[in-house]
């Protein structure tokens, strides 16, 4: 935008991301007055559909859309924008208005106060559906003109009362009936006149201001019945014809993508004898699905589709908020004298802050194309060719669908695979990076009627597509999936969406596409490959690799192996298969052997397995985890150690050290056995002494029997003393041997 245009602009809008704030700057008019000044020029009401049509729409995948309106106004004008109630908060948060050569007087919209609160703010209370007598009573003191069956009565309403008035019943001798009739007393120029309410045909409020209040109250009632839509009125003032631009953001359906992948009818050569599989060229068509759920047609608008997700939130700016304020008594302190305050040390800022720069063409909401200024690598021709010699299709063209080659040859014959490959709906978009997002911009204006949707060609590109079968045991155990390995060889982002696969001229199945950056590749599965059967065999084994002694404890290195043996039987007698095997990564395990994966993910290994027609192929995938375990010396016997030594898993030094330890342990065991045997002999002798003592008690002490038993007891006691002495010696030897063994083990570390 040139400097002169900036100086002419009367309204400026601050823009930041998707959050806009309205800022009206006018050197000669107050900011955002509610109504034009009394007595000023009348405001011309112009429908926005005629003067400010929607000219540009940018849709984001975060669920919002940026709408821009542009048009020309002449003189003062009031522009009305109609929104749904759910959209009004986003509009209040994001509305921007530019009047080039004029100024913005106000942006007004109906209040969302409760109906009773709004009606209570008017001079005439009609919220409780008052009857005519009640309404006249509320107009006390107001000048009215009552048209009765007799004449017109003009005056001020004094009061409304109920009187008992006789009514004839029709009989000559009957007494008249008495009914209660409301009567309004009106103060006229000739005095007070009582007018029965039933005789009033119509009445008019002579006070125009009061009548206007009544009309506003009735309008509020009518508006409450139409809460679905809200009208935002933008009043601009200026002289002559000039351009006015508005922009705002509100929620819109997320625009979606869908793809069609056309594969050639010829198979590529699969991987075999260490040679990689040859690729193929397929045609990828991308479509955008755009939905107009608003109540206004999008007629000849410039449409941009952005893949980024800017931060967008909702905030209730429409609902009035009231906070509690305590009531404080008026202070009445007498004798308070005014006080003069000293001036501050810092000078006051007298200069106004500089106005922000006006929106230039090409910025969001501006008149230009942001893509044409920022897109990289999309301008100019593209002379690249694919592997088959055809022109590369990842350059965007401006042609419509009518320029594409016809699908039907016209003679009723089926479409050939060559026609499917060569045909593509020419895209109507240009694509490229704008900032940090990827944007598709339609070169031609589009028209989408209200409450309707449209499919728009986004891209057509030749992509590398390798036919494969994909097997993952977690998906299904009996058959792999038919699929294709697609490499995004175009220069465009592929956004998430469904994909229909055409194998030659036949429909093959559906797949889903995630975000694919240029140069990246993905596996897409679209059908079950019933011609390939799969059998699996689980493998789990553990081996001791090495044993050494660390501070008297055996440290054994154990390798645990887990894996699966896959066998693929290709029952197709005509076509070979390249099977992409997905094998899970086990946590803590590493791949064992010379087998190397073609590709890895966070949780999977991928291997290519070539299977000839009518043949079988097997692959064994093993993963290994090496653990170190600490076990006691006695966890192994000599026979096992000798076998491990023969297998080379234990060294001669470790074996010799273990032999010495086992010899020491055998000596300890022999001492313990001797101690246990003596202890058994002592217990036997003591048990026999108890028996003899019980037998001796009734005997005569001078008898020979008694003397024989006593001699035997003395002999046994001598044997017990001898055994106890030997036990003490053995226990001392045992403790010494144990200490020697423990000291030896603590200092023993042998590899």
Whether 564 and 701 map to the same domain: the answer is: no
Whether 242 and 272 map to the same domain: the answer is: no
Single pTM value for the model: 0.55
Whether 614 and 666 map to the same domain: the answer is: no
Please compute Rg for the chain using Cα positions.
50
User: Is 638 a domain residue?
Assistant: no
Per-residue pLDDT, 269: 52
d(CA 670, CA 398): 100
Contact predicate 90/249, CB 8 Å: yes
| β-bridge partners, 145 | 154, 204
Contacts of 566 (CB under 8 A, 6+ apart): 471, 534, 535, 536, 581, 609, 618, 619, 620, 621
User: Is 149 a domain residue?
Assistant: no
User: Is 736 a domain residue?
Assistant: yes
Per-residue pLDDT, 355: 38
Whether 451 and 558 map to the same domain: the answer is: no
Domain count, the chain: 4
User: Is 490 a domain residue?
Assistant: yes
User: Is 269 a domain residue?
Assistant: yes
Q: 524, 551, 572 — which closes off a domain?
A: 524
Per-residue pLDDT, 330: 57
Per-residue pLDDT, 341: 34
Per-residue pLDDT, 224: 62
Per-residue pLDDT, 365: 38
d(CA 535, CA 478): 7
User: Is 128 a domain residue?
Assistant: no
Whether 576 and 513 map to the same domain: the answer is: no
Whether 564 and 703 map to the same domain: the answer is: no
Whether 478 and 574 map to the same domain: the answer is: no
Whether 546 and 624 map to the same domain: the answer is: yes
Per-residue pLDDT, 369: 34
Whether 243 and 265 map to the same domain: the answer is: no
Per-residue pLDDT, 325: 64
Whether 467 and 491 map to the same domain: the answer is: yes
Instruction: Using alpha carbons, select from 439, 85, 68, 55 the residue that is nearest to residue 255.
Output: 439
User: Is 155 a domain residue?
Assistant: no
Whether 510 and 559 map to the same domain: the answer is: no
- DSSP assignment letter at 253: P
User: Is 485 a domain residue?
Assistant: yes
d(CA 193, CA 49): 54
β pairing state of 553-570 and 532-550: antiparallel
Lookup: tokens for 49: 């559909």
Mean pLDDT, the chain cut into blocks of 10 residues (751 residues total): 31 31 31 32 39 86 89 88 82 88 84 58 66 81 83 85 76 70 87 85 81 76 66 88 90 89 68 50 88 88 81 68 67 46 40 38 36 33 45 39 39 54 54 63 86 87 88 89 87 84 85 85 90 93 81 82 94 92 91 89 92 94 87 75 76 80 83 90 90 88 87 89 90 87 78 80
d(CA 730, CA 712): 27
Whether 565 and 589 map to the same domain: the answer is: yes
- DSSP assignment letter at 332: -
Contact predicate 396/378, CB 8 Å: yes
Supply the range of the domain harboring residue 558: 532-631
């Amino acid at each position: 935008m040139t400097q002169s245009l900036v100086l002419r602009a009367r309204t400026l809008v601050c823009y930041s991301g998707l959050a806009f704030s309205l800022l009206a700057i006018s050197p000669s008019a107050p900011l955002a007055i509610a109504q034009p000044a009394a007595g000023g020029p009348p405001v011309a009401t112009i429908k926005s559909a005629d003067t400010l049509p929607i000219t540009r729409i940018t849709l984001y995948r975060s669920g919002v859309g940026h709408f821009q309106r542009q048009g020309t106004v002449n003189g003062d004008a009031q522009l009305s924008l109609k929104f749904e109630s759910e959209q009004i908060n986003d509009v209040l948060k994001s509305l921007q208005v530019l009047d080039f050569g004029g100024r913005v007087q106000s942006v007004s919209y109906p209040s969302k106060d409760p109906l009773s609160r709004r009606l209570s703010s008017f001079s005439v209370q009609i919220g409780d559906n008052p009857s005519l007598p009640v309404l006249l009573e509320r107009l006390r003191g107001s000048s009215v003109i009552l048209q009765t069956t007799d004449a017109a009565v003009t005056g001020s309403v004094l009061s409304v009362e109920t009187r008992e008035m006789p009514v004839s019943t029709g009989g000559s001798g009957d007494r008249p009936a008495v009914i209660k009739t409301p009567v309004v007393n009106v103060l006229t120029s000739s005095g007070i006149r009582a007018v029965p309410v039933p005789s009033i045909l119509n009445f008019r409020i002579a006070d125009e201001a009061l009548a206007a209040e009544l009309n506003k109250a009735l309008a509020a009632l009518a508006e409450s019945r139409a809460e679905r839509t809200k009208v935002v009125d933008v009043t601009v003032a200026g002289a002559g014809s000039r351009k006015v631009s508005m922009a705002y953001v509100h929620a819109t359906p997320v625009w979606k993508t869908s793809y069609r992948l056309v594969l050639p009818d010829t198979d590529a050569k699969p991987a075999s004898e260490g040679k990689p599989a040859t690729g193929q060229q397929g045609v990828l068509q991308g479509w955008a699905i755009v939905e107009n759920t608003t109540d206004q047609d999008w007629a000849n608008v410039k449409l941009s589709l952005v893949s980024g997700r800017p931060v967008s939130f909702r905030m209730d700016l429409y609902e009035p908020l009231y906070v509690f304020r305590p009531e404080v008594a008026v202070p009445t302190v007498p004798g308070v004298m005014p006080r003069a305050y000293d001036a501050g040390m810092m000078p006051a800022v007298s200069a106004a802050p500089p106005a922000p720069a006006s929106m230039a063409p090409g910025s969001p909401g501006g008149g230009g194309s942001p893509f044409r200024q920022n897109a990289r690598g999309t301008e100019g021709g593209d002379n690249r060719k694919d592997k088959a010699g055809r022109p590369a299709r990842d350059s965007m063209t401006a042609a419509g669908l009518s320029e594409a080659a016809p699908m039907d040859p016209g003679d009723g014959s089926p479409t050939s695979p060559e026609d499917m490959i060569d045909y593509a709906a020419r895209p109507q978009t240009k694509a490229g990076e704008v900032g940090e997002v990827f944007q598709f911009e339609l070169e031609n204006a589009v028209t989408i009627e209200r409450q309707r949707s449209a499919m728009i060609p986004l891209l057509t590109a030749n992509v590398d597509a390798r036919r494969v079968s994909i097997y993952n045991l977690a998906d299904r155990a009996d058959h792999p999936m038919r699929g294709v390995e697609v490499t995004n060889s175009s220069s465009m982002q592929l956004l998430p969406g469904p994909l229909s696969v055409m194998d030659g001229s036949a429909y093959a199945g559906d797949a889903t596409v995630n975000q694919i950056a240029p140069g990246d590749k993905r596996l897409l599965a679209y059908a079950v490959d019933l011609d390939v059967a799969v059998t699996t065999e689980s493998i789990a084994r553990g081996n001791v690799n090495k044993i050494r002694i660390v501070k008297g404890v055996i440290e054994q290195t154990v390798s645990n192996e887990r894996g699966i043996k896959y066998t693929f039987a290709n029952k197709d007698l005509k076509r070979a298969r390249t099977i992409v095997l997905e094998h899970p990564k086990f946590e803590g395990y590493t791949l064992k052997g010379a087998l190397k994966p073609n590709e890895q993910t966070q949780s999977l290994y991928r291997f290519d397995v070539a299977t000839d027609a009518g043949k079988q192929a097997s692959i064994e995938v093993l993963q290994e985890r090496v653990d170190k375990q600490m076990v006691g010396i006695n966890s192994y016997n000599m026979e096992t150690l000798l076998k491990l030594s023969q297998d080379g898993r234990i060294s001669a030094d470790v074996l010799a050290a273990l032999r010495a330890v086992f010899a020491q342990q055998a000596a300890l065991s022999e001492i313990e056995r001797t101690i246990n045997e003596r202890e058994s002999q002592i217990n036997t002798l003591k048990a026999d002494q108890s028996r003899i003592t019980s037998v001796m008690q009734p005997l005569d002490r001078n008898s020979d029997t008694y003397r024989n038993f006593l001699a035997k007891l003395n002999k046994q006691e001598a044997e017990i003393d001898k055994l106890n002495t030997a036990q003490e010696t053995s226990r001392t030897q045992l403790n010494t041997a144990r200490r020697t063994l423990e000291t030896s083990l603590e200092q023993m570390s042998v590899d």
